[in-house]
A = this chain, B = another copy of it.
Amino acid sequence: MSGTLYGVGLGPGDPELITRRAARLIESAEIICYPSLAGGESLARAIAADLIPATAREIRIDVPMTRDRAPAQAAYDTGAAGIAQALENGQDVVCLCEGDPFFYGSFMYLFARLRGRFDVQVVPGVTSLTACAAVAAMPLTARNEVMTVLPGPLPDDILRTHLRAADTLVVMKVGRHLPRLRTLLDSEGLLAAATYVERATLGAERVLPLADAPDDAPYFSMILIAKGADPWL
């Protein structure tokens, strides 16, 4: 009897935003798996630190940050092989994932390698999307409004099409793209409607009008744009 692979969403960073189901799975885990980026501390492990049993075996997947995707793929191949071995031995494995596993989550790389062969259960988590909206006190969508989520690294022409079509826009992965995105939003007449949110629920969070945001935004930053004026009343 093989073990079960759990892909567990941890939410946006505040350990209090972990769900009760995720907390219970982590607290009773025999084997915990998590990624870390480029040899640094694992954010996923840090979020869940207080819940991880001292007795748990930990599988760390060290993901290199290279433009070429092959080294990261090799790291996930190795991690998946280690997990597969534990599952074949009948042990369950709890994989930690910031935010939600299936919304830009690192767990997808393990899911793609292990599904079909093993029982996989995914525990959804609070996304950075609604965490940023909560921190900014800014409703995202009501009634029949359309929302589009846009990664900031995309080229301007793709972004522009969506900026014009949707009622609410969320730009993720802003980072060093902030000056270009601000120029684009200004040219579309959306600068006044744009709010910048940095490190939501991660500590030292900041909420600013995009017009006042720093040029050197951190990776964990987001832009929220709501065209509707109190449409939820």
Contacts and interface: CB of A to CB of B under 8 A. Distances in A.
A111 B136 CA distance: 13
A230 B111 CA distance: 10
A131 interface: yes
Contact of A149 (B146, B230, B233): B146
A21 interface: yes
Interface of A is mostly: mixed
B16 A140 contact: no
A30 to B, nearest CB: 20
A79 interface: no
A142 B108 contact: yes
Contacts of A123: 17, 134
Interface residues of A, number: 64
A230 B109 CA distance: 9
A218 to B, nearest CB: 18
Contact of A130 (B102, B140, B162): B102
Nearest to A100: B130
A147 B129 CA distance: 12
A158 interface: yes
A43 interface: no
Residue with the greatest number of chain B CB neighbours at <10 A, chosen from A105, A124, A151 = A124
A20 interface: yes
Interface of A: 9, 11-12, 14-21, 23-24, 73, 100-105, 108-109, 111-113, 115, 120, 122-127, 129-131, 133-134, 137-151, 153-154, 158, 161-162, 165-166, 173, 230, 232-233
